[in-house]
Structure 1
Amino acid sequence: MIYKQISDNFKQQKKQLALLLDPDKFGTEQMKSLSALLDRVTPDLLLVGGSLVSTDTYVFLNELKKHIHLPVVLYPGSSTQYASNADAVLFLSLLSGRNPEYLISHHVASAPLIKANNTETISTGYLLIDGGCTTSVQYISHTLPIPADKNDIAIATALAGQYLGMKLIYMDAGSGAKNPVSAEMISSVKQQIDIPLMIGGGLNTSSKIETACKAGADIIVTGNALEKDLSLIEEFSEVIKSFNQ
């Protein structure tokens, strides 16, 4: 099970790297290039999805699995992105917002399909953090992000997710964020929760990833930077390795 792998690494205090692929921006040629890179370096998680995806996720995963032989975890922006050929799904609840569609409605819509296909689910509390610009997540979900300097709100929201029984907390500044989640907020939340902490959004350089890891991030999620330069996977992986030695 994929969550067991995440949990085992967490218990051993190992940092983890997750690659996020957007089906609308990742074509067959990029799949081939990624496959070649994965001969040299292997990420801990391979995520597929986004806030707004027009590509058929099932078709995309079929093509992806021809080139890449890693378990695929869905990172769905809505119930329409569910695909039965995924190995697992982050069952994301947008805890930082108050839009019921993203707190529970999409979950109800997808639950029977997940059950029918026996897809592994990883209950995840999703916190959108202000990254200095309006992101796709904010626009699509009609929710406000947690202000970047409101560590107390982030802590309370993350704790609420943990107490609701969620297995992960994912703090995200959003795709294309100008500013990643601050080290201060990561550290503040990390000190208060007992479950793995994922951090994403704006982590497009090794130094930013290193800062997030030092602050307490357990899982680093990167996507936008790789769309421009896939070779960064090797560089980012080296940063993660340096914390696990």
Structure 2
Amino acid sequence: MTIAQRIIDLSKKKKLHFALLDPDKQTPRVAGEIAKIVTDAGSSAIMVGGSTLLSQKQVDETVQAIKKTSDLPVILFPSGAKFLSKYADAVFFMSLLNSNNLGYVIREHVKGAPFVKYSGLEPISMGYVIVEPGMTAGRIGQADLIKRDDPATAVGYALASEYLGMKFFYIEAGSGAPTPVPDEMIQAVKADLSIPLLVGGGIRSAQTAKEKVRAGADIIITGTAIEKDKHFKTTLADIIAAIEGR
């Protein structure tokens, strides 16, 4: 069974948490340590990616370190074709649909597709949009940010993703966002979407995670923001418990 299908099947049974690790934010050794923590806490997958430019060596070493301490699927969340690693299990082959730069919509995909083919990485298609405030992801991705009071546009992107054959749809406010994606927007998207909905950006507490799940998120993504919390282990465990309704 593919990793994508395993995630889809699991998301039908319960709400999930994915941890996003940025190779630019810590050394490979520390990434491995964090991977063990998120695995023990109950995450369902580890995403590796970031908005800034990195060397492939950085990505390779980070993925390899994670694989040594965790048996969770490692899924690349690439900002471009140079962000791929043969050591990962899969890659979110995602299109930043509201980018003004065609590179993030399709051109980087054209460059990276042969690598995915011959490395054996499992490609997982995903529609991806960024909501205000967008943060670094919105700036680097040159996104035409979806306004927070415009759920109709978010719904349009979500349905377009599904009709284009994407397996997942991800909506985020940007890593470290002061405010996450509005509940009303998540509710509107979930009401019309038939594929799993991922939500991220600005989710730093169990209460916020619970609100996003209640609004309709199938998978919650948290990144480096909570890693800066001195009570990281407890905070992460609380977030995952809230997501799963424990």
Q: Do they superpose with TM above 0.5?
A: yes
User: Within 5 A, what are the aligned runs for 1:40-51?
Assistant: 41-51=41-51
Q: Report the AA paired with residue 132 of structure 2.
A: D
> Where does residue 62 of structure 1 map in the other structure?
64
The alignment partner of 2:20 has SS state of strand
> Where does residue 228 of structure 2 map in the other structure?
228
> Where does residue 36 of structure 2 map in the other structure?
35
- Larger CA deviation: 25-34 vs 210-219: 25-34
The alignment partner of 1:221 has SS state of strand
Deviation (angstroms), 1:136: 1.1
> Where does residue 73 of structure 1 map in the other structure?
75
> Where does residue 135 of structure 1 map in the other structure?
135
Deviation (angstroms), 1:117: 1.2
**Distance verdict in 2 for CA 1:30–1:80, change over 3 Å:** closer
Q: What are the superposed Cα offsets for residues 110-153 of structure 1, whole Å, 9 maximum, x if unpaired? A: 0000000121111000010113xx51112212222111110111
Give the Cα separation in 2 of the matches to 1:38 and 1:10.
17
Give the Cα separation in 1 of the matches to 2:172 and 2:139.
14
User: Within 5 A, what are the aligned runs for 1:29-178?
Assistant: 29=30, 31-32=32-33, 34-35=35-36, 38-39=39-40, 41-55=41-55, 56-131=58-133, 135-178=135-178
The alignment partner of 2:165 has SS state of coil
Give the Cα separation in 1 of the matches to 2:208 and 2:222.
11
Deviation (angstroms), 1:97: 2.3
**Distance verdict in 2 for CA 1:5–1:99, change over 3 Å:** same
Deviation (angstroms), 1:53: 4.1
User: Within 5 A, what are the aligned runs for 1:231-242?
Assistant: 231=233, 232-242=235-245
For the 8 Å contact 1:71–1:87, the answer to whether it is kept is: yes
Deviation (angstroms), 1:34: 4.3
Give the Cα separation in 1 of the matches to 2:38 and 2:82.
30
- Size of the alignment, in residue pairs? 239
Give the Cα separation in 2 of the matches to 1:139 and 1:26.
22
The alignment partner of 1:202 has SS state of coil
Deviation (angstroms), 1:176: 1.2
The alignment partner of 1:171 has SS state of strand
The alignment partner of 2:127 has SS state of strand
The alignment partner of 1:54 has SS state of coil
**Distance verdict in 2 for CA 1:79–1:160, change over 3 Å:** same
User: Within 5 A, what are the aligned runs for 1:7-46?
Assistant: 7-12=8-13, 14-27=14-27, 28-29=29-30, 31-32=32-33, 34-35=35-36, 38-39=39-40, 41-46=41-46
The alignment partner of 1:191 has SS state of helix
Give the Cα separation in 1 of the matches to 2:136 and 2:31.
23
For the 8 Å contact 2:31–2:65, the answer to whether it is kept is: no
The alignment partner of 2:23 has SS state of coil
The alignment partner of 1:220 has SS state of strand
| 4+ aligned runs moved over 4 Å, structure 1 | none
For the 8 Å contact 2:21–2:31, the answer to whether it is kept is: no
Deviation (angstroms), 1:67: 2.4
Note the residue ranges of structure 1 that are not aligned, 5 or more in a row: none
